[in-house]
């Protein structure tokens, strides 16, 4: 009798376990598709955000390349290969020294010092891919005339950065500065047909190596109708031994984010040993393009200069 009762209990327990198993199985059949659907929806949402973000970047770069925020003056090449300045609309540069307004848009000027070099073509290729015009402050590198011509032909602004880039030569005295200025302006004119009227001092206007007062150099430039441009953001890529791609990108983006000016002039370098600068360039472009209310423009007379120091006059 006792065995019969134990058998009944075991049967009841087995029956309860079977029911519980069936219940869990049914619950699993219901929940698994639900969980899979939720996971799928999450992945779709992430994918949509990724697509929207990339479309936004492409649209901003497209706006720049379509000329939506382009400057009024562009360098073009005529039929005989000479570079001329074509006026596409009336200049907005007024006699009271106001500069072109971009309706709340922050102008971003990417500039390269010390070129042309073995890296110039790679830089120009990247700029062309993104439809961006930049500014090259060049030296008298006779071995890279083809690259200098290409800079002009592709509509970038050419600025002067001294012929020799030798501090001892450029800053020996005011006469030496004037001679070097004439040499680099003549070299650019003879090579490309462009008469450059913008200048960047080797070491910047705030350098501490000049034997001549920088205010005197500035006054000399202005007397010649030449404006000088420093910078308010830099990749700091001219350090001895070079800088890593991440360091260059972070340097630029941190300074861009902190800048309160409506014109941001970024300093980078175009020399043969600055391969990480080339690698950092597209990253910098895309990160800035992803910001609100920015436009890439080359330096022209419509871009307000950034000065580290001012003339006394």
Among 5-14, 40-49, 58-67, 228-237, name the one with the lowest average pLDDT: 58-67
Among 20-24, 173-177, 277-281, name the one with the lowest average pLDDT: 20-24
Rounded Cα distance between 103 and 108, Å, is 14
Sequence-separated (6 or more) residues with CB below 8 Å from residue 181: 160, 162, 199, 220, 221, 224, 226
pLDDT at 249: 98
Which domains, and CATH codes, for the chain?
67-296 (3.20.20.370)
The model's confidence at residue 72, banded by pLDDT at 50, 70 and 90, is very low
Rounded Cα distance between 204 and 213, Å, is 13
Per-residue pLDDT tens digits for 223-275: 999 999 999 999 999 988 889 999 999 999 999 999 999 999 999 999 999 99
pTM of the model: 0.70
pLDDT at 88: 26
The model's confidence at residue 89, banded by pLDDT at 50, 70 and 90, is very low
Q: What average pLDDT does this structure show over 102-127?
A: 94
Q: Say if residue 32's pLDDT is above 90.
A: no
């Amino acid at each position: 009798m006792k065995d019969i009762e134990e058998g009944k209990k075991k049967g009841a327990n087995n029956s309860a376990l079977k029911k519980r198993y069936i219940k869990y199985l049914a619950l699993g059949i219901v929940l698994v598709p639900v969980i899979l659907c939720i996971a799928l929806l999450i992945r779709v949402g992430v994918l949509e955000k990724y697509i929207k973000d990339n479309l936004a970047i492409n649209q901003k770069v497209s706006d720049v390349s379509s000329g939506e925020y382009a400057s009024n003056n562009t360098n073009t090449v005529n039929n005989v290969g000479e570079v001329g300045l074509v006026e596409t609309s009336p200049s907005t540069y007024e006699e009271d020294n106001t500069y072109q307004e971009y309706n709340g848009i922050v102008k971003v000027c990417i500039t390269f010092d010390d070129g042309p070099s073995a890296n110039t073509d790679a830089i120009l290729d990247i700029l062309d891919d993104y439809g961006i015009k930049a500014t090259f402050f060049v030296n008298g590198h006779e071995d890279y005339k083809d690259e200098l011509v290409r800079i002009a032909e592709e509509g970038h602004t050419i600025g002067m950065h001294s012929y020799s880039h030798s501090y001892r030569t450029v800053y020996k005295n005011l006469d030496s500065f004037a001679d070097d200025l004439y040499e680099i302006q003549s070299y650019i004119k003879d090579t490309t047909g462009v008469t450059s009227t913008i200048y960047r001092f080797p070491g910047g206007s705030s350098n501490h190596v000049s034997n001549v007062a920088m205010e005197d150099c500035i006054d000399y430039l202005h007397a010649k109708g030449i404006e000088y441009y420093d910078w308010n953001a830099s990749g700091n890529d001219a350090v001895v031994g070079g800088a890593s791609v991440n360091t260059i990108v972070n340097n630029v983006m941190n300074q861009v984010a902190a800048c309160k000016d409506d014109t941001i002039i970024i300093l980078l370098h175009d020399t043969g040993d600055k391969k990480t600068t080339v690698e950092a360039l597209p990253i910098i472009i895309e990160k800035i393009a992803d910001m609100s209310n920015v436009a890439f423009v080359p330096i022209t007379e419509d871009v307000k200069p950034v000065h580290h120091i001012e003339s006394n006059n």
